[in-house]
Amino acid sequence: MSLEIVTLPALADNYFFLIHNSETGETALIDAPEAAPVKAALAERRWQLTQILLTHHHYDHIDGAEELRSATGAKVIGAKADAHRLPALDLEVSEGDRFEIAGTSCEVFDVSGHTLGHIAFYLPDEKAVFTADSLMAFGCGRLFEGTPEVMFESLAKLTALPADTTVYSGHEYSAGNGTFALSVDGDNPAVQARVAENARKRDAGEPTGVSTLQLELNTNPFLRCQEKALIRAAGLGTDAAPAAVFAEIRRQKDNF
């Protein structure tokens, strides 16, 4: 099986992802910020859209879904817990469910926090996880609906995946996330190197919203709450629990 995963921009700073199986001709879309760029990308490649996977209900992840379904007949898949806020779903899924997209197995994780009912899609055979606004490149999503405790648990599920998993997140936020990471973990050489590399990529017009779990573990402050530097940055005392450190670091980011 030959799968191709393409990362493409939409709106001001969103990403959407196309997963194409050249053997079967199937193409799955992860999130639908708007229809026009998705249609253009499909037409350019002569791909037929067969499935639309939605991570959460925010408009900048779903607004193009109905138009794309109408144009292509693609099936729409999303969280059962969030079905009342999503376009009509052809398949409702929950944590632990497995189904097939573009000829490969896909597993569902509940990664609530940014919103309640937010899900991530994990493709084990491709070593890829689509996390949208839960685990983000160099950061994590703002907690609009969930508590810090809920998001901390969600991120723990994702960090348990193999370290060589590719992480596809929903936005181009690396500049601001990197600046914040320097403010709380600035002595970390890996953080310094990532900030420099991201600046180079952006200057070259390359996306920085795709990374590896290992890179996130090495540099993402929200995944490093057990480390001394982050405990100091939280200012909660050396015996602070990682979940409490996470809550304080997230509060600091909200006010950064």
Pairing verdict, β 98-101 and 166-169: unpaired
Strands 166-169 and 128-132: parallel
Q: Which residues contact 78 (CB under 8 A, 6 or more apart)?
A: 53, 54, 55, 86, 87, 89, 91, 92, 93, 119
- For the question of residue 125 being annotated catalytic, the response is no
Tell the burial category of 39 from Cβ atoms under 10 Å away from its Cβ (0-12, 13-18, 19+). middle
* Residue 171 annotated in active site: yes
SS3 (DSSP) at 210: strand
Catalytic residue, candidates 31, 110, 133, 185: 133
Q: Which of 20, 31, 57, 60 is catalytic?
A: 60
Known catalytic residue at 84: no
Is position 118 annotated as part of the catalytic site? no
* Phi and psi angles of residue 128, each rounded to the nearest 5 degrees, phi first: -140, 140
164 annotated to bind ligand: no
CA distance 10 to 16: 7
Q: Is 57 marked as binding a ligand?
A: no
133 carries an active-site annotation: yes
Dihedral sign of CA atoms 49, 53, 58, 60 in order: negative
Selecting among 20, 31, 56, 57, the annotated active-site residue is: 56
Q: Active-site residue among 20, 31, 57, 61? A: 61
Is 239 annotated in some ligand binding site? no
Q: Is 187 annotated among the ligand-binding residues?
A: no
Q: Are 120 and 129 in contact (CB under 8 A)?
A: yes
Choose the catalytic residue: 20, 82, 110, 114.
114
Query: Is 20 part of any known ligand binding site?
Result: no
Given 20, 58, 110, 118, which residue is catalytic?
Answer: 58
Q: Which residues participate in the annotated binding site for Zn(2+)?
A: 56, 58, 60-61, 114, 133, 171
Q: Which residues participate in the annotated binding site?
A: 56, 58, 60-61, 114, 133, 171
Catalytic residues: 56, 58, 60-61, 114, 133, 171
